[in-house]
Structure formats: structure tokens, C-alpha cells
């Protein structure tokens, strides 16, 4: 029901996605769409379901097992024929004759059996159910972590589309500026106050900017296709952004975020569940040293000529106590293997805890670095704008050369592109902090 409700919401919120290529979509809608359609999320979901069914299957061993069996036999073995006739109720006085006992004729038997087996004491069942329960828990956490990873991928691809569109706008503006410079160069040349070389230089500059615009247009197309693919769309379909995403707010210092990651990081919780599962495997291996008690009962019918026939019937009931005393050290080695695997998982968990702390710290440092780079880029852009204004004024009064004018335009274009890149890097660095702390989905969808 929950999955259906989300699907209905998405179809209502973004109906154009079902029919139109190149639809515009918000970041939140893109993440929700990816969580519904991503094949990686679906694969993790099915793995989670497989874990649930495995847990249910392990618990079903507590219940009795019921069997129906039909067996056909034909023999002239003295002992087998003797037992067949007894089971069928066909034994007669003539069967006691020595010749008949030693050399009986070939006899047939259809045996129908209904039996039931119920475990009374088997510690392996309980420990096996515990192992399956932890496997289910780990797969559930892996599913939730996959959702986080897909959300981060969509966030990154969404920023790529946004950045590519900004670069395209810069390229378009550069072409317009280059056309204006070419016009001015022609006008000055026609009036005899300019050089032919300036006109040629302006044409070369225009060709360079047009080439960059072609690349920028293709980058936008590729980024849109990548975003559509990240949201579970078909290859080649484009998906456009409907808003400009900026860097979000980070609440808390490094110590707070590290503590948050310990509680929120689903991959860390998954590894903790794997360690608990390894502990259950050790307990299961230990349980193999204990005896087992099973109860059973059976009802059988025998007939000489007819399957499922009933010339005679019988029943039996009882209990079995079984204790394996020696197995060539198999169980001991199984337990040693389980203990070794438990120690291995524990070591990996301890190392991963350190890795998580490092990832949060690194993400915060990189975000601070990106923030400083963004400030520098903003100042550089303002300086480039002022430089362009001054150079344009000097060029208008024939105090600057065409090459100086084109250099100033190039510097301004590069400063504008660097500012766009820095803004995108800062937003992505913020998302990396959220992802490292395990709160990306909360921040994006809240």
C-alpha cells in the first residue's frame, strides 16, 4: 500500500514524466522518482524480501513436517516376500512350507504411508532462526542504505545539469560578446581608425567561442540524459532541472556529526548486524554438539495390486533421541571457523567505525575548503567585471588594443565559469557531509 501511494503521488505531481521527454523536475521530485524506479533500489528491495522469506523458512522448522509416500516393490527375496505378505494381510498356512519360505514366487506390494515428524528438542533450529533474523535485518539496512546512495547520485547529477546549463549560458554570452567585438572591429576598420588585424583577431575569437558553445550544448544534453538514467529512466531520455539547488545548512560541529553518523549511518548498522549474525552462527555451531529429540508417527496401507489400495493397514508412533558423539572433528572445526569469521567481522567493524569518523571529518574539511574557494571565486568575478568595464572604456576611447579587450572578456568568462563551478562544488560538498553523516535523505526530502 505504501509503495502504491508513493507511485500515485509521483504520477500526480509530475505527470509529464510519463509521456514527455525532457520534462522539468525539482530535486525532491527527482529523488522520489529515483527511489521508485531505480533498478538498484528495486534489487536491494527484493534482496530484503528474500531475507524475510529466509527468516520465515527457518522458523517453520519448529512446526511438524507431514509426508505422503507411495512405494511400489517387486521381489522374490524370501525375507522381502515374507514381510510384504504380512503387511498386506495375505499370509496363510501354506506360506510356512519350507519350499515356499525358501523359494517364494515373485510378489508385488504398493505401500502408502502418511507420516509426521515433530522436533521436541533441537537447539540448532533456534540458533538458525537467529542467524536468519540477523540476515533479514542486515538486508533491510542494505536496502535503506541503497536508497541513500541513489539519492546522493541524483543530487550529484542534478547539480551537473544545473552547472552544464550555467556553462551553456556563459558560452552563449561569450558568443554574443564576440559578435559585438567583431562588429566594433569592422566599424573601426571601415572608419580608418582600426586595424585589419583587429578584425581578424575578433573573427578568430568568435570561432573559438562558437566551438565552446557547441561543447557546452552537448554537455547539457549528456547531463540531462545522465539525470534521467539516475532516476530510473530509459537510456537516451532527457530530464531537466526545474530549480537551482544551492548549498544547504550544516547544523552541528564535527563531534556532533560524528556521533550522528554512528547512529544514522546505515552501512555501519548493517555491519553491526553482520557481526551479530556471526555471533549467532557461532551459537548455531555450538548447538550442533547438543542432542536432538524428535517425535514421529506414521500410518501405512499395503495392497498387492492397487496403488493407494488398502488390503491391510497399520500405524506406529514414537520418539527418537539422537546424540552425535563423534564426527571426525567436523563440528569442532565448524565452530572454530565460525569464531574466526566472527573475529574477522569484528575487526572490519572497528576499522569501518574509524573510516566513518574519517569520512565525516574529511567531508567537513572539504566543505570548508569549497566555501573558501567560493569566496575567492566571487571576489575574482567582481574584479574581472571591473576590469572588463575599465578595458571597455579605454577601448572606446582608443586607449586599449583589441587584444586587451578580448583578454578582458576571456578573463571575465573564466571568472564567471569558475564561480559556477565553485557554487556547484560547495553544494556537492554539503551533500557529501550529509551523506557521510547518514542524513542525506532527511535533508533532501524534508
pLDDT, tens digit, for every residue of 34-58?
A: 999 999 999 999 999 999 999 999 9
Contact by Cβ (8 Å): 334, 288: yes
Residue 345 confidence (pLDDT) above 90 = yes
Residue 18 confidence (pLDDT) above 50 = no
For residue 291, give the C-alpha cell.
542432542
Contact by Cβ (8 Å): 152, 435: yes
Taken in order 251, 252, 257, 263, the sign of the CA dihedral is negative
pLDDT of 21: 52
The mean-pLDDT minimum among 223-227, 255-259, 367-371 falls in 255-259
For residue 353, give the C-alpha cell.
567505525
Residue 22 confidence (pLDDT) above 80 = no
pTM passes above 0.85: no
Q: For all residues of the chain together, what is the average pLDDT?
A: 90
Neighbours of 6 (CB within 10 A): 14
Go through 53-72 and write b for each residue having 16 or more CB atoms within 10 A of its CB, e for each that does not: ebbeebeeeeeeeeeeeeee
Beta bridge partners of 293: 121, 321
Distances (CA, A) of 40 to 37, 144, 236: 9, 11, 19
pLDDT > 90 fraction of the chain, expressed in percent and rounded: 74
Mean pLDDT (whole number) for 181-200: 79
pLDDT tens track for 379-431: 999 999 999 999 988 888 878 888 888 899 999 999 999 999 999 999 999 99
Quote the CA–CA distance of 18 and 21 in Å, as a whole number. Answer: 9
Quote the CA–CA distance of 76 and 63 in Å, as a whole number. Answer: 40
User: Closest Cα to residue 108, out of 354, 307, 383, 270?
Assistant: 307
Three-class secondary structure of residue 399 per DSSP:
coil
CATH class of 2-37+122-167+210-288+327-445: mainly alpha
Quote the CA–CA distance of 426 and 345 in Å, as a whole number. Answer: 36
Residue 433 confidence (pLDDT) above 50 = yes
Enumerate the domain spans of the chain.
2-37+122-167+210-288+327-445, 65-121+291-323
What's the gap between Cα 18 and its chain centre?
Answer: 24
Contact by Cβ (8 Å): 299, 136: no
In which band, very low, low, confident or very high, does the pLDDT at 193 lie, cut at 50, 70 and 90? low
pLDDT tens track for 105-155: 999 999 999 999 999 999 999 999 999 999 999 999 999 999 999 999 999
Amino acid at each position: 500500500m505504501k509503495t502504491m501511494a508513493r507511485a500515485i503521488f509521483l504520477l500526480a505531481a509530475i505527470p509529464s514524466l510519463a509521456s514527455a521527454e525532457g520534462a522539468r523536475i525539482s530535486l525532491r521530485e527527482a529523488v522520489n522518482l529515483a527511489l521508485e524506479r531505480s533498478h538498484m533500489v528495486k534489487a536491494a528491495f527484493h534482496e530484503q524480501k528474500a531475507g524475510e522469506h529466509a527468516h520465515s523458512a527457518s522458523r517453520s522448522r519448529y512446526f511438524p513436517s507431514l509426508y505422503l509416500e507411495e512405494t511400489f516393490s517387486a521381489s522374490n527375496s524370501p525375507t522381502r516376500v515374507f514381510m510384504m505378505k504380512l503387511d498386506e494381510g495375505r499370509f496363510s498356512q501354506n506360506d510356512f512350507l519350507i519350499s515356499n519360505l525358501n523359494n517364494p514366487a515373485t510378489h508385488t506390494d504398493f505401500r502408502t504411508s502418511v507420516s509426521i515428524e515433530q522436533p521436541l528438542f533441537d537447539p540448532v533450529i533456534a540458533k538458525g532462526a537467529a542467524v536468519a533474523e540477523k540476515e533479514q535485518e542486515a538486508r533491510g539496512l542494505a536496502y535503506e542504505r541503497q536508497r541513500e546512495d541513489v539519492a546522493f547520485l541524483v543530487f550529484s547529477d542534478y547539480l551537473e545539469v544545473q552547472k552544464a546549463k550555467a556553462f551553456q549560458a556563459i558560452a552563449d554570452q561569450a558568443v554574443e560578446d564576440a559578435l559585438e567585438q567583431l562588429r566594433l572591429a569592422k566599424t573601426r576598420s571601415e572608419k580608418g581608425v582600426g586595424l585589419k588585424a583587429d578584425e581578424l583577431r575578433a573573427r578568430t575569437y568568435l570561432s573559438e567561442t562558437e566551438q565552446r558553445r557547441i561543447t557546452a550544448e552537448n554537455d547539457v544534453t549528456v547531463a540531462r540524459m545522465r539525470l534521467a538514467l539516475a532516476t530510473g529512466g530509459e537510456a537516451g531520455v532527457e530530464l531537466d532541472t526545474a530549480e537551482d539547488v544551492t548549498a544547504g545548512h550544516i547544523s552541528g560541529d564535527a563531534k556532533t556529526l560524528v556521533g550522528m553518523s554512528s547512529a544514522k549511518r546505515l552501512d555501519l548498522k548493517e555491519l553491526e548486524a553482520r557481526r551479530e549474525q556471526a555471533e549467532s552462527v557461532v551459537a548455531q555451531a555450538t548447538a550442533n554438539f547438543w542432542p536432538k529429540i524428535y517425535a514421529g508417527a506414521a500410518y501405512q496401507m499395503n495392497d498387492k495390486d492397487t496403488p493407494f489400495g488398502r488390503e491391510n493397514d497399520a500405524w506406529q508412533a514414537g520418539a527418537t533421541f539422537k546424540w552425535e558423539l563423534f564426527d571426525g572433528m567436523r563440528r569442532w572445526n565448524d565452530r572454530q571457523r565460525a569464531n574466526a569469521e566472527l573475529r574477522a567481522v569484528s575487526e572490519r567493524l572497528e576499522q569501518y567505525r574509524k573510516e566513518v569518523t574519517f569520512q565525516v571529518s574529511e567531508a567537513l574539511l572539504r566543505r570548508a575548503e569549497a566555501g573558501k574557494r567560493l569566496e575567492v571565486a566571487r571576489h575574482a568575478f567582481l574584479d574581472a567585471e571591473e576590469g572588463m568595464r575599465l578595458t571597455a572604456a579605454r577601448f572606446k576611447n582608443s586607449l586599449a588594443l583589441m587584444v586587451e579587450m578580448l583578454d578582458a572578456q576571456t578573463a571575465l568568462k573564466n571568472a564567471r565559469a569558475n564561480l559556477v563551478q565553485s557554487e556547484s562544488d560547495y553544494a556537492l560538498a554539503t551533500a557529501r557531509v550529509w551523506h557521510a553523516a547518514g542524513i542525506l535523505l532527511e535533508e533532501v526530502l524534508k
